[in-house]
Amino acid sequence: MSLAPRCPFMVRAENALAQVAPMLACEEDEESQAPSEHIKGVRMEFYYDPTSDCSRRVLCFAGVHAIALNTFAVDQRAGEHRLPTLVDGDFVLWESAAILRYLAQAHAPETLGHSPQSQALIDQWMFWGVASLQPFLEMLRIEVRLMFAEDLDPVPVNRLKARINASLNMLIPTLQASLFIGGLAPTLADFVIAPSLEAIQRPCFMKFEEPLVAQWLERMTSLPGWPPVS
């Protein structure tokens, strides 16, 4: 892993847009409007924040599926906020869910689902993890820091933990029927939710009360190639 003080993806994005602009103007040539394909043998570049759950989702997915990435840790204090970002040749992509889909289509299409119904359910849990669960995880981190820094009452922390466990109970019917959220094997939904839950366990002293959730998380974090929490 290399440490980059500043992410160059904005410059790459501008260059890429300049190169594809003439293509987009030509409606007759459909092939010229298609995004460039990944060049085999050339590693993609991944710019990320080591403290970000969003970045970790991509790192976990790439690790488990043996996707080679040149990784660059970026300090957000330098002013870069569109993280994580993937650079594949002239193609620049940010937002973790979009990056996961891009990598899955090229390297692990089975994680996207095998039917319209399974794909929709995977999307449902992905959106739930990002929009409904993640905000409470971020709030818990903040409250834990405040509790230790200012010796505050632990009641808000305990309330948040209870709220998170209550939210995770929504997974019970799914995990009763299958080993993973999307079925018998990990899907994108698993890779969106599991890294965030793993990341709060130790620093926030978080215990997942539902055994099915704890067992599922253990299965995910035990997958070959799953990177350790930094």
Q: How far apart are CA 48 and CA 42, in angstroms?
A: 19
CATH dotted code for 112-221 = 1.20.1050.10
- Please provide the average confidence, as pLDDT, over all residues in the chain: 85
210: how many CB neighbours lie within 10 A of its CB? 15
| pLDDT given at position 147 | 83
> Does pLDDT of 41 surpass 70?
no
Domain residue limits, the chain = 2-107, 112-221
> CA angle 100-168-64, nearest 5°?
30
Which of the two residues, 39 and 137, has the higher pLDDT score?
137
Please state, for a pLDDT cut of 70, what percent of the chain lies above it: 79
| pLDDT given at position 11 | 47
Q: What is the DSSP string of the chain?
A: -EEESS-THHHHHHHHHHHHHHHHH-SS-HHHHSPPPPPTT-PEEEEE-TT-HHHHHHHHHHHHTT--EEEEEE-GGGT--S-SEEEETTEEEESHHHHHHHHHHHH-GGGG-SSHHHHHHHHHHHHHIIIIIHHHHHHHHHHHHHHHHHT--SHHHHHHHHHHHHHHGGGHHHHHH-SBTTBSS--HHHHHHHHHHHHHHTTTT-----HHHHHHHHHHHTSTTPPPP-
pLDDT tens digit string along 209-227?
Answer: 999 999 999 999 999 999 9
Do the two domains 2-107 and 112-221 of this chain adopt the same fold? Answer: no
Sign of CA dihedral 88, 94, 98, 99: positive
| pLDDT given at position 5 | 45
Hey, what amino acid is at 48? Y
Token pair 């293509």 in the structure block, residue? 23
Of 27-41, 149-163, 172-186, give the lowest mean pLDDT range: 27-41
Please check whether residue 96 is in contact with residue 86, taking contact to mean a CB–CB distance below 8 angstroms: no
| pLDDT given at position 10 | 47
Q: How far apart are CA 81 and CA 53, in angstroms?
A: 14
Please state, for a pLDDT cut of 90, what percent of the chain lies above it: 67
pLDDT band, very low/low/confident/very high, at 28 (cuts 50, 70, 90):
very low
φ/ψ bin of 95: left (φ > 0), alpha (ψ from -120 to 50), beta (otherwise): left
Q: How far apart are CA 115 and CA 117, in angstroms?
A: 5
pLDDT tens digit string along 66-100?
Answer: 999 999 999 776 665 689 999 999 999 999 999 99
Closest among 125, 57, 66, 41 to 95, alpha carbons compared: 57
Which residues contact residue 215 at a Cβ distance below 8 angstroms, ignoring those fewer than 6 apart? 175
Q: Does domain 2-107 have CATH number 3.40.50.620?
A: no
pLDDT tens digit string along 121-166?
Answer: 999 999 999 999 999 999 999 999 888 777 677 888 999 999 999 9
